Amino acid sequence: MISPVTQARKLAVSVYLLRSYHITTQVATARRVPLIHLPEHAHIHLLAACGTAMGSLAGMLRQRGYRVTGSDAHVYPPMSDFLREEGIELCDGFDAQNIVPAPDLVVVGNAVSRGNPELEAVLESRIPYTHLPEVLRDLFLQGRRPLVVSGTHGKTTTTALTAHLLRVGGVDPSWLVAGLPQDLPRPHHVGGGDWFVLEGDEYDSAYFAKFAKFLFYRPHLLIVNNIEFDHADIFRDLEEIRQAFRQVVNQVPHSGLVLAGGDDGVVAEVITDAPAPVMRFGLGSDNDWRAVDIRQEGGRQSFELLGPDGSAGRMRLSLLGQHNLRNALAALAAASFAGLEPAALAHALENFVGVKRRQQHLGTIAEVTLIDDFAHHPTAVHETLAGLREGYPHRRLWTIFEPASSTNTRDTFENDYADAFAHTDLAIIGAVVRPERSREDKPFSSVRLVDRLRGKGIEAWHLADAETIASHICTNSRPGDIVVFMSNAGFGGVQAKTVAALENYTR
């Protein structure tokens, strides 16, 4: 027998969902009254809870007082540790029993598709369900000014840095970072100020909502860092990606601002007809916000900041690479629009450490420096390695790469990766993760990539498992080497295994 309280809860959520799901892309992007009215202490269950954005959402819901549970097929640190610290009940693996007794609402992650046993149980039991962007919009963004960070690369770092600058500047922003920032108390926060800083992903929202997440966020200030082809599993070509960005640019009100990556030709096309004011940032001379007189300073970089009103003084940044200079420019320009003086934020910028797995220093063991990075696109790989080469010009650079994204199961970027590794001295290419995702497309080949790299004079190996990789690094590394791991997945825990192997290795 279902209790009257449970019936009332399910009716309230079902009314929301009945109205919410009869949407098109146009309706989804239009302003509407928030409809979600969850009862106090409702039970919300997240499918694919260990995704970076889903993990932050789980923490926000828990902070609001809801009982939050979650499940995922790939439960690994650091997100699994974070969720448990937040008080989230986490199930390892998908199972219909994970939703017994039935929650009041299920949030379905975009990595979940039909055939998932837990999702099928949700549908059979007629449990109300929704997706992450709608929960954010209706529960957290109403009444605030969304500061949405978008682009193919740099979203998470720029989001974390912008939130850090606004927080230090005293405007008490809210934020949601799709990662684990090292400069903020946690990756999520609901503050007392007007601004809500969040990452605007162009990836789809859920299997039943096949349009970009950022179309739900109604940005008041929109950052567009860069635009390239990616996500070959959902976009056919670059033009489809351009169209998604045109739609989000078209949402910004006249009182808002579009901050556009001025060094990117595709961004320039997308903002051509922007109805809101536009300012450009970058390294080129025609940008409104520029970094000039760039210097490398012992594993850091500094630059003079030029804004619309002239020089704002010299800035220092601990993150290497031109891509991080552009991330910093975007964050400083956004802080300026929010009413802060960039010159007053120089100390906050200099002390910014970054986000875990984004050029994260794991330590120096046996005189070998280990760095963890999230790069999984040829441009991101190239920019990161170029920055490390500038920062450490006289040291051997190892790149340990895992083809883990859906796009990287295909040969879409295989030739591009051969060029992207140009700044490395030694490379290990791991096994393709879930290669069946390539479907009918030509699959990515780690062996072919290794052959191409060797043809360019780079020492390269294809090693399939984390233990073998860690052992190989121990045996072949030298004092002073830099080793950077690149993956957007777990990589079999190769980072920790390499640390342990080096700690126990005697040369």
Dihedral of alpha carbons 231, 235, 240, 245, sign: negative
Report the distance separating Cα 244 and Cα 116, nearest Å.
28
Domain 4-130 coded CATH 3.40.50.720:
yes
- The Cα angle at residue 195 between residues 79 and 355, in degrees rounded to 5: 30
Task: Please state whether beta strands 368-373 and 482-486 pair in parallel, antiparallel, or not at all (unpaired).
Answer: parallel
pLDDT (0 to 100) of residue 437: 83
Report the distance separating Cα 356 and Cα 91, nearest Å.
23
Asked if 282 contacts 261 with a C-beta cutoff of 8 angstroms, the reply is: yes
Nearest to 9 by CA among 97, 105, 99: 105
- The ranges assigned to domains in the chain are 4-130, 135-350, 360-503
Question: Six-digit token pair at 105?
Answer: 């609402």
pLDDT (0 to 100) of residue 356: 82
pLDDT digits (tens, 9 = 90+) for 92-144: 899 999 999 999 999 999 889 999 999 999 999 999 999 999 999 999 998 99
- Which residues of the chain are modeled with pLDDT < 50? 1-35
Asked if 89 contacts 149 with a C-beta cutoff of 8 angstroms, the reply is: no
Question: What is the SS3 string spanning 310-326?
Answer: EEEEEEEECCCCHHHHH
pLDDT (0 to 100) of residue 233: 66
pLDDT (0 to 100) of residue 297: 83
What class, spelled out in words, does domain 135-350 have in CATH? Answer: alpha beta
pTM strictly above 0.85? no
Nearest to 55 by CA among 87, 73, 80: 80
Report the distance separating Cα 268 and Cα 151, nearest Å.
13
pLDDT (0 to 100) of residue 282: 96
pLDDT (0 to 100) of residue 231: 66
What class, spelled out in words, does domain 360-503 have in CATH? Answer: alpha beta
